[in-house]
Each structure stands twice: as C-alpha cells, then as structure tokens.
C-alpha cells in the first residue's frame, strides 16, 4: 500500500497522488500545540490569549459599601416610617469615598454617606436621599427625618459581591476583552501570563519578482504575496519577523528558511517545475510529508518541517497562495497562538444564482459575489487572477465527494470581510 504521506521528488513528473485536505489537516493539527506562556504588562494584554486561568486572591469590593447617596442607618429604626409618619434620626457624621466614618452607628443615629463609601460599623442599610428630609432651621444639620422604610441590606454592596477571593475570574485560553483587563486590574493583577504569539518568517521566491509596490516591467511582476501574507499573519495574530524576496536558488532558499521563527511561509516554487526548488530543499534538509493536495486552487501546496519548525510551501499564484494560507498556515498560526482553529470568516447560507460544477476527488474553493440575495459564482476562476478575490464577497467550498450544486441550491458562503 502507498503511504499518502511518504515523500517523493516530483519535479517535472507531476503529482502521482495527492493528500486529501482532511489528511493534511489531521497531520497539521497533531503538530500545532499551543506555544508556551510569556508574562506581559496588563496594559498590553487586551486581545491576547490568557495562558492560565486567573484566580482572585482578594475580595472585590474589599468592604461593604453604599450603593446610593443617602444615610447609613440601622434598618430597624426606619420601620413604619412614611410621609405621614416621619421618624427622626440623629446625624452623627459622614462617610465619603476614601474618607470613611470610623465611629459606630447606634440605634437612632445616621451617617451621611455617598455611593461607593464604606458602610460604617453598626449600620446595615442605606436610606436613599430621596426618602429623607433634613430638619429645616437646624443649623448643625444634625437631625433628619425619614419618610420611608428600608430593610436590612438595602442599597448595600457586600464585600466580595463582585469577585470573591479564591474564585476563578477568567479561564485559560480566553481572548482578553477590554472588560477582562478591567477586572484583572480590579483584583490587583499588573502582569498577565499570555500565550506567546507565533513568530512567522515569510520567504517570497521568484526570479521574476520585483519588490512590492514596484511598477511591473517586461517579464517582471511586483510581489503581491509578501504584503498579502503579512496582512493575513497579522489578522491571525502572528508576528512577522522578516519578509524578503529570495532568488530561485536552493542554497539561498535553505538559508532563508532556516530562521528563528516558529513557522516559515514560503511563497512560490512549491510545485513540480524545474525552478521549483523549495520541495527538494525540504526533502533533503528536513521533511516534507505532505506535497500535493486534492484541492483547487492550491493543489501544489506542501507542508513539512525544517529544524523542528513547520514550513508551508504556498503556491506562487496569488489566489492559490491565499487559499493555501487560509486552509493550512493560518490555522497553524492560530493554533500555536492558542486561538480557535476555525476561520474568522462569517458565514451565510443563500441560494445559488447559477450552477457550480466541480470534479469529484478534489475540494473546490469558488469565489462568489452576493447579488440581490443570490450567490453568483465568479466566471474567472484562474488561480493567477488575484483581482477575482477582491471582486468577490466570499467563497463557497465544494467538498471532494461532490460534483457541484444546481442553481437554487442553498450554499454556505464564507464572507471575506471580517467584523473587527
């Protein structure tokens, strides 16, 4: 039996067999364990992934506090009070934020209090200011009347009601939201254990390539994969360590692939042409268990390792490059960074305007537009037509076991635009 993952040199011979997308993902998922943790200042933690669960050592709030502006009282003193039966209390002091009342509130007494201030000892409720009348003509303001009742505990925020000491406030693997950062600050955290972000090296190959942004010249084109891959890596929260264009020469390519990064992306030269050196370099110096995948575009994709690091050989055709990144490299970057392996794309299900035809035995990635609630496949499907992906709203996948879909079939569309 042929091992689908056994490497072979396929230059100028074509792929004798192709790995299925499922097998490739299975192999990859076994090699993308979450990276180790690093300690990062809280101010830089939002949007990053928590490496460990966070347990609070403290109660928040650390004291019983008033939830209203009013008077701290003994609730029993207000029993039976109403606008027709006002009860008098002696005001013996005030409790302000950061400036508490240190005395004790006894029966018949009240302490003026504001929201967030410490509830004095002896008091068990707060009488809101709306229920209170200050005695007119009492120059010392030392008497007040209540015209309503409060029950024990009323308008009092209890110690630990927000966070109790010893409880888990956030689980491991959490992508930190701004409010999570606020909560961590409230329990006294200044530095956070986060999953390290994967470092990514991008090697763009092709003797015909000019640096990104150069005007194209006869027989030379500008590199579009470098900038596109950099943006994709950023989207998936990886950190680009270096992007450069290297000539189609095995020695230079090997040198470029040997990097301190966690993962290497090679654009171009991944197929079976005579200038496609990347697969041979990997076979010779590392391993290339996956080369040639049953999909379109991106069939000449390779996934291997060099010095223990994952290396992705992405086809140079820009659409194939985008698709292969999204299927394999992006997933690996997200997994290494402790994030969901799933695509960040939103999905919608709508009927097809026209049929989609696909060959059995390979997965198809079809660019589509949404027109008046229908899914319109784009006529130009060539992998070299990058503008097809900018004109498209998203893509539809046709699985390997399907011949396609008839007009009117409900299909799932992955939308390129990401809500961020």
Which residues of the shown chain bind ligand AMP in the complex (CB under 6 A)? 204, 206, 208-209, 221, 223-226, 267-271, 273, 315-318, 384
Supply the minimum distance, in Å, between the C-beta of residue 268 and ligand AMP: 3
- Minimal CA–CA distance to 339: which of 233, 182, 207, 223? 233
List CB contacts of 99: < 8 A, sequence separation 6 or more.
117
DSSP assignment, residue 220? B
84 vs 219, beta carbon nearer ligand AMP: 219
Among 84-92, 142-150, 313-321, 372-380, which window interacts with Mg ion (CB under 5 A)? 313-321
Q: What is the CA radius of gyration of the chain?
A: 33
Asked if 316 touches Mg ion (CB under 5 A), the answer is yes
Site string for Mg ion, 319-358 (x = CB under 5 A): ----------------------------------------
d(CA 149, CA 53): 44
Q: Which does 317 bind (CB under 5 to 8 A by kind): ligand AMP, Mg ion, none?
A: ligand AMP
**Nearest CB to Mg ion, comparing residues 123 and 321:** 321
Among Mg ion, ligand AMP, none, partner that 190 touches (CB below 5 to 8 angstroms by kind): none
CB of 385 to ligand AMP, least distance (A): 11
| Cβ–Cβ < 8 Å for 362, 295 | yes
Site for Mg ion in 252-271 (CB under 5 A): 268-269
**Pattern 198-217, binding to Mg ion, x per CB under 5 A?**
--------x-----------
For residue 126, the 8-state DSSP code is E
Q: Record the tokens describing residue 321, joined without a space.
A: 């490059």
Q: Is the dihedral of CA 320, 323, 327, 329 positive or negative?
A: positive
Q: Are 329 and 351 in contact (CB under 8 A)?
A: no
H or E segment to which residue 179 belongs? helix 178-186
* Residue nearer to Mg ion on the CB measure, 85 or 274: 274
With CB under 5 to 8 Å by kind, the binding choice for 282 among Mg ion, ligand AMP, none is none
Among Mg ion, ligand AMP, none, what binds residue 120 when CB lies within 5 to 8 Å by partner kind?
A: none
| Cβ–Cβ < 8 Å for 70, 95 | no
Residues 6+ positions from 65 with CB-CB distance below 8 Å: 116, 117, 118, 119, 156, 157
Residue ranges in contact with Mg ion by CB under 5 A: 206, 268-269, 316
């Amino acid at each position: 039996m042929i091992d689908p993952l056994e490497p072979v040199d396929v230059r100028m011979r074509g792929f004798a067999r192709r790995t299925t997308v499922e097998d490739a993902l299975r192999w990859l998922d076994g090699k993308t364990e979450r990276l180790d943790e690093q300690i990062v200042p809280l101010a830089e933690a939002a949007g990053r992934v928590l490496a460990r669960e966070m347990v609070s050592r403290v109660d928040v709030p650390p004291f019983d506090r008033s939830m209203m502006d009013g008077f701290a009282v003994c609730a029993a003193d207000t029993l039976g009070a109403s606008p027709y039966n006002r009860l008098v209390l002696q005001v013996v002091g005030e409790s302000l934020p950061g400036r508490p009342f240190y005395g004790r509130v006894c029966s018949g007494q009240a302490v003026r209090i504001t929201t967030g201030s410490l509830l004095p000892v002896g008091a068990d409720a707060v009488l809101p200011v709306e229920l209170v009348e200050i005695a007119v003509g009492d120059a010392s303001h030392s008497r007040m009347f209540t015209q309503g009742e409060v029950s024990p505990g009323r308008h009092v925020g209890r110690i630990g009601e927000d966070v109790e000491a010893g409880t888990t406030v956030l689980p491991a693997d959490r992508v930190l939201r701004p409010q999570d950062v606020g909560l961590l600050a409230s329990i006294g955290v200044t530095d956070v254990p986060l999953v390290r972000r994967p470092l990514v090296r991008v090697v763009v190959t092709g003797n015909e390539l000019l640096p990104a942004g150069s005007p194209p010249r006869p027989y030379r084109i500008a590199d579009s994969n470098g900038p596109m891959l950099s943006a994709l890596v950023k989207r998936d929260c990886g950190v680009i360590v270096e992007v450069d264009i290297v000539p189609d020469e095995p020695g230079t390519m090997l040198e470029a692939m040997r990097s301190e990064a966690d993962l290497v992306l090679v654009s171009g030269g991944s197929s079976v042409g005579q200038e496609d050196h990347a697969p041979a370099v990997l076979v010779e110096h590392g391993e290339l268990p996956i080369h040639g995948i049953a999909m379109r575009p991106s069939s000449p994709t390779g996934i291997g390792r060099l010095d223990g690091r994952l290396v992705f050989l992405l086809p140079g055709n820009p659409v194939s490059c985008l698709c292969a990144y999204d299927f394999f490299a992006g997933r690996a970057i997200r997994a290494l960074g402790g994030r969901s392996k799933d695509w960040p794309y939103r999905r919608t299900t709508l009927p097809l305007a026209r049929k989609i035809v696909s060959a059995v035995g390979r997965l198809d990635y079809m660019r589509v537009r949404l027109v008046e609630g229908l899914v319109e496949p784009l006529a130009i499907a060539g992998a070299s037509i990058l503008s097809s992906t900018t004109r498209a709203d998203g893509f539809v996948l046709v699985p390997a076991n399907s011949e396609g879909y008839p007009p009117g079939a409900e299909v799932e569309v992955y939308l390129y635009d990401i809500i961020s």
